[in-house]
Structure formats: C-alpha cells, structure tokens
A and B are shown apart, each in its own frame.
Chain A
C-alpha cells in the first residue's frame, strides 16, 4: 500500500516535471522570438463594435500594404488601468483609444501622447466641421493630440413597444402608435397598458439591479422639463447642483412614486438587470422603458424591431433642455513612444476618415462627427434612423475646461449617497421625504465641489467657483465658447 503510494507520488512528480519542462521550453521559445519591430500595436475596448474595427483594419491593410496592425481588445472596465500599467512598464501600444481616466490633460502632462501637428495640419483639420479642435479638449498647449470621432448624441430615449401600445388601443388613425410627448401622455399610456392588459403587462419598467437605471429616468424627464444638467452635471447657468432648488427633480420623483403606487411599473424592476429589462421589454412585459441606443443591436439580433423611440418627454410637450457635449472631442491617439509614427498616423487618419465614420453610422453603432454621415435616409433600419434623426437634440454645451484649462486640476470626490442611491431609496420607501433627500443630496454635491475648488486653489491652480458659471447660456441653443 505504502509502496504503491510512493510510486504514485513519483509518477505524479515526474509528470509535473515534464510539464514544467514543457513550460520552460515554451516560454523560452516565445521569449526568443522577437516581435517584428515593424508591426503596429493598437488597443481598444470595442467588444460589440469589433466587427467595424476588424473591417476597417482589413480595408486599411488593403489600401496601405505594409506591416500588419495587431489589434488587442482589452477588457472594457479594466482599460484605463491596463493602459496606465503599460505606460509604467514601457509597453505602451503604438495607437490606442484614449482611456476615460486619467483626464486627457493629465495624460498629455505625463507625456503619454505624441503631438500630431506634423500631420494634423489646418488643411487636415478642415475636413472636420468647424470648431472641432479646441484647447483643453483635444488641443493642449497649442498642440493637437487627438480629434473628435462622434458627434454629441442624445444619450437616452424613451422606448415604446408597438404591441403593448396597440393592445391598449393607443394608436393613431393610420395604425401607427400614439407616441407620448408629455409627462401626462406617459402617465395615460402607462395606465392604459396596465389596465387593458389584465395584469399581463405593465406600462413602465426598468432594470435597476446595478443601480443606474432609475437615474436614467430622472435624467431624461428632467431635461425635458428644462433642467439642463439632468443627473449628469451641475446646472451651468448657475454653476451649482440644483437637485433641490430646481423643482423639476421633486416633481418627477413624485410622479414616479405615483406611477409606482398606481401599479403602472413592472414590480420586479428593482431586482432585474438592465439587460434583463431589455429582454422583458421586447417580450412586451412592459410598454415603455428608458435606455440608450445600445439597446438596439441586442433587439435586432433577437429579431425584435416593433418599437419606436422618443426623447425628452416634457411636461408640456416641448423639451426645454437637451443633451450637451463638449466642443470637439477625442477618440484615438498615438503613443509618444510609437515605433513607427508614420504608419501609426496613417492608421489614425484612416479611422478618422469620412468613409470609416459613414460605415460606423451604417452599422448602427452611433453618430459620426461628419454631419453628412448622420443622414437618417442612409440608415435602412427604422429605429436607428429614428435615433439618427434625434441628432438635433444634442449639441455643444458649456465646458468649464475650455474656458479655463486650469479647471482640469480640480478633482471632485464622489459623494455617497448619490442620485442613483437617492432615487432607489425614495422608490423603495427607505427614504420618505423627497424634498429632504434632494436637498441633502444637493448640499453634499455642492460641498464636494467647493472643497475640490478650494483644494485646487491651495495647490496654486487658478480656478474659482465662477469658472463653472455660464450666465449667458441658453440651454435651447448650442453654446459658443468665447476665447478667454
């Protein structure tokens, strides 16, 4: 017995040593194989957009014969970490999608990026629409580092399920469904769907398991009512957070709680994830939901196309505030350590071409920076065409860093509870008093903001609370930044 065990152990050990030998052989072989210095590395985090990137790579290779480009798709929510670590260990990819963190200003300050002025001449810039190269956004210290790819886009829409609407009799004379335009329209439609389905369907639904869907609802409805910050930013007209002083927020939350009380909302909405809510909506478990354009590819794949979208429902039907983005924008950049900057530029230039942007829109991935590409008639798929047609609800808004680049040095800490938490707390009844909860939230956010400005001032940054105030802003119009 004992001997057999020893024998067995010996066999196991031998097996292990063979394997580890193999490991050594394998890795030393790989170690000796020097990567061809001419091949270009490209990093992105595009998983669902992979088809577009791969196609562009193929077309690029055909048009620019030469060493191939090695694309690495990094894990989306680890992308910023990985890029920072690659810089730390001098493994930076030649061309990469710009990570969301740290701020682009910091990336430039730390010397991560190659200035593109050699190639991005004023002539090259002229292919873009006007005012797309802006100091503090994609130009730093007078040097261009990247360029915009997508146009500001309406980030959220209210999706309406045709079947649910038709079953509830919410149709126009021509058989199309009666799309809700006002808050009251939404209430009436929700009531009709809930009551006419006999308990099979609900008017409204969402998936808040990850704790962000409720904030989408608040954002979409309050923008329509005229709160230009939604839940995303402060109200730049006054340079403060206004969750309590702007009564739209309390009004909408009261309405939401009323919907819940009257049983219009799918009861498991707090239990399910956004993806599950997406699936349940397509089954008609509820007639309306709030989400972004990313819903559409999943539905298309599952052959669900019977839906329409509206954006910014407003109390009286006319949206008073919209979606805003900074002027210009950023997408990909070249590493300061790129091995072959010329070819890196060629690839970057290719990605920014009008044709690549056109294919981006055609594949239903988003809006292009070139207005000609955003032509609903080019888009065959009706719901995406509806989205493209909404491009006029998103435009350039005030951006503090553009007026004063020093603002980039202000680091505002996250607050807890935030709007997602407050929304959930009110919805479940853990928080009872809407006004009190919102006013505490507003104080928390403004305190964090003031502290951050003070901390930046203490370190010598030339910033003040006024840098966040844009008195001359009309939320119904694109904002034109005056040179400082």
Chain B
C-alpha cells in the first residue's frame, strides 16, 4: 500500500508509552458501551425472558422481559414438538459440511483472484460481480431440477451443496479483499525460499487469514444453521432430514403462532451460534490473530 509512509526498519521502542487513557475516559467508554449494548441486545433479552412466559403473559406483559414465574416446561415442549433432538444432528452436519466446504472453496478462489494473475481472471470477476446485483431467481425450480438430475435430492448432501453454492460469492469476495490487504513481502520471501504455489497458499497465506476464516466461517455457519427454505425443499420427501429452522415452523399455524414455544426454540437454536461466536472472536482481537506481523 503506497500510502503507508512509516519508514521501515525503525527500531521498536522497548516500552512504547503505554498511554492508557485516564480513568474518567475509561469509565465513560464502558458506560457508553454498556448502555448501547443493552439497548442493542434488548430484543434478545426479551426473547429469552419470553421463552419462560405462559402464552397469556407473552403479549400482556408487553415489553417487560421478566416472566411472572419461569416455565421451564416451554423448553421441553418446544424440544419435543419440533423434533429438535433429531433435527439438531441434521443441522449440525449440514452446518459443518457447508462451512468447511465454503471455507476451502472461497479461500482458494479468493487467493488466486486477489493475488495472482491469469488469463480469464477478468471474466471471473465480471461474472461474480454481475451475480451480486442480478436476482437469484424467484423460483427454486432450476436448482431443484439440477439437484434432482444429479441424483442428490432428499439427502443432506444436496442441502450442503446448494447452501455452500449460495455463499461462495460472498466468501470469495471477502477473502479476495483480505488477501489483497496482506503485506506482499511475506509471499515474496516465501517464494525466494523456494516455496511452491501450494506451500505459499497453505502454509503462509491461509494461516495468515485467521480473522477472515473466522469471519466467513461464522457467517457461513450462521446462514447454514438458520437456513430454512433450502433444507425444506431439498429434503421434501424425507422429513427426518429436516433442520431446526424447519422444525420451528411446527409452532406457526395458519392463523396463530405459539410464541412462547417459538421463543424457547429460538433460544435453543441460537445458543450454539453464540457459543461459536464466543469461540471465534479471539480471532478479532488485535495482536492475537497470529503471524500477520511475523
């Protein structure tokens, strides 16, 4: 990046002024973050609280998230009514399959599109960019026919394939942008040392992209985990292969919804995602991300 004007080779100050902001500023920062954060997560707290309410309280207590008494039975009922036990495993397999597949495919593609040159690259970029704006269709029929023809219908594989395909553009873009940001020197140095194309990618570049693996992985996992329409359609004759998000529809009737069970179901469904976020977020902490700076 040409705009970085910091001279290279400058020695590191041993104890570079640890300029910790004064106590007052820190307190203010925390207060702002806490107030903003609570407002931000209020709907989630409300969902959590409502998952313990009885149906009457759901609307009647309005915005008060606290139930009068905690109805743990909502969770049991939700779990059973929506066949969560079985659907949980399906959802997990689909999510892991989709995430691993998407990460492999998009990191490789993002790398070559971001850092190498080859005839036809522009065409690839044009195709990808155009699909960003053009509608992906108001009918699933072309994809459905395709999956049916390759004989994958009514299997978890079909869900993984279609789900992964839906996320490739997004992931490729992010990886491309990220690889473009990483300092070139590392790659050049590796090549000087005689590293092959594959070694450069798998041993140098990919390990450097921890934060982006975490980001793309997180969002791919979220969208696979919450995916509703794709699993519904591609397992239509095998309801035992459905996912949690499809199971949630057993709370939604034609004219009324079992809101408290829906909330309990949402909390059950969200818990693993939040756990994943907590697990991955250390990749977003400055300095711990790995060897970006060697």
Q: Which residues of A does B touch, CB under 8 Å?
A: 1-2, 5-6, 9, 16, 19-20, 22-23, 26-27, 30-31, 41, 45, 47-48, 72-76, 78, 81-82, 85-86, 88-89, 91, 93, 274-276, 278-280, 283, 292, 294, 297-298, 301-303
Q: Are B252 and A47 in contact (CB under 8 A)?
A: yes
Q: Does B33 contact A (CB under 8 A)?
A: no
Q: Return chain B residues, CB-CB under 8 Å to A292.
A: 255
Q: Return chain B residues, CB-CB under 8 Å to A301.
A: 55
Q: Return chain A residues, CB-CB under 8 Å to B100.
A: 16, 19-20
Known: A75-B249, A303-B56. A20 touches B233 (CB 8 A): no
Query: Bound complex: CA of A82 vs CA of B207, how far in Å?
Result: 43
Q: Return chain A residues, CB-CB under 8 Å to B154.
A: 91
Q: List 9 A-B contacts (CB under 8 A).
A: A23-B96, A23-B97, A27-B155, A48-B253, A75-B246, A85-B236, A89-B144, A91-B237, A280-B59
Q: Are B153 and A89 in contact (CB under 8 A)?
A: yes
Q: Does B254 contact A (CB under 8 A)?
A: yes
Known: A45-B254, A85-B236, A298-B256. A31 touches B291 (CB 8 A): no
Give the nearest-CB partner of B93 in chain A: A23
Q: Given A91-B153, A278-B256, 5 other A-B contacts at CB below 8 A?
A: A27-B156, A75-B246, A82-B232, A89-B148, A297-B256
Binary contact readout B79-99 vs A (1 if CB under 8 angstroms, 0 otherwise): 000000000010001001100
Report which residue of A1, A31, A89, A274 has the largest number of chain B beta carbons within 10 angstroms of its beta carbon: A89
Q: Are A19 and B290 in contact (CB under 8 A)?
A: no
Q: Return chain A residues, CB-CB under 8 Å to B203.
A: 6
Q: Return chain A residues, CB-CB under 8 Å to B156.
A: 23, 26-27
Query: Bound complex: CA of A302 vs CA of B60, how far in Å?
Result: 11
Q: Return chain B residues, CB-CB under 8 Å to A72.
A: 239
Q: Are A47 and B254 in contact (CB under 8 A)?
A: yes
Q: Return chain A residues, CB-CB under 8 Å to B96.
A: 16, 19-20, 23
Q: Return chain B residues, CB-CB under 8 Å to A45.
A: 254
Give the nearest-CB partner of B207 in chain A: A5
Give the nearest-CB partner of B60 in chain A: A283
Q: Does B188 contact A (CB under 8 A)?
A: no
Q: Return chain B residues, CB-CB under 8 Å to A31.
A: 155
Q: Return chain B residues, CB-CB under 8 Å to A76.
A: 249, 252-254
Q: Which of B249-283 contact A (CB under 8 A)?
A: 249-257, 259
Q: Does B145 contact A (CB under 8 A)?
A: yes
Q: Does B44 contact A (CB under 8 A)?
A: no
Q: Are A85 and B250 in contact (CB under 8 A)?
A: no
Q: Which of B192-244 contact A (CB under 8 A)?
A: 203, 206-207, 210, 229, 232-233, 236-241
Q: Return chain A residues, CB-CB under 8 Å to B170.
A: none
Q: Return chain A residues, CB-CB under 8 Å to B255.
A: 48, 274, 292, 294
Q: Are B249 and A27 in contact (CB under 8 A)?
A: no
Q: Does B46 contact A (CB under 8 A)?
A: no
Q: Does B157 contact A (CB under 8 A)?
A: yes
Q: Are B97 and A75 in contact (CB under 8 A)?
A: no
Give the nearest-CB partner of B147 in chain A: A89
Q: Are B236 and A26 in contact (CB under 8 A)?
A: no
Q: Are A5 and B290 in contact (CB under 8 A)?
A: yes
Task: Name the 5 nearest CB pairs between A and B, nearest first.
Answer: A279-B59, A48-B253, A294-B255, A91-B237, A47-B253
Give the nearest-CB partner of A41 in chain B: B237
Q: Return chain B residues, CB-CB under 8 Å to A88.
A: 141, 144-145, 148
Known: A5-B207, A5-B210, A298-B256. A82 touches B250 (CB 8 A): no
**B108 → chain A, closest Cβ, in Å?**
14
Query: Bound complex: CA of A85 vs CA of B141, how far in Å?
Result: 8
**A124 → chain B, closest Cβ, in Å?**
29
Query: Bound complex: CA of A303 vs CA of B239, how far in Å?
Result: 34
Query: Bound complex: CA of A298 vs CA of B255, how far in Å?
Result: 10
Q: Return chain B residues, CB-CB under 8 Å to A23.
A: 93, 96-97, 156
Q: Which of B15-60 contact A (CB under 8 A)?
A: 55-56, 58-60
Known: A85-B144, A89-B144, A292-B255. A22 touches B56 (CB 8 A): no
Give the nearest-CB partner of A75 in chain B: B249
Q: Are B256 and A85 in contact (CB under 8 A)?
A: no
Known: A85-B144, A302-B55. A6 touches B257 (CB 8 A): no
Q: Return chain B residues, CB-CB under 8 Å to A283.
A: 59-60
Query: Bound complex: CA of A297 vs CA of B256, how far in Å?
Result: 9
Query: Bound complex: CA of A20 vs CA of B160, how far in Å?
Result: 11
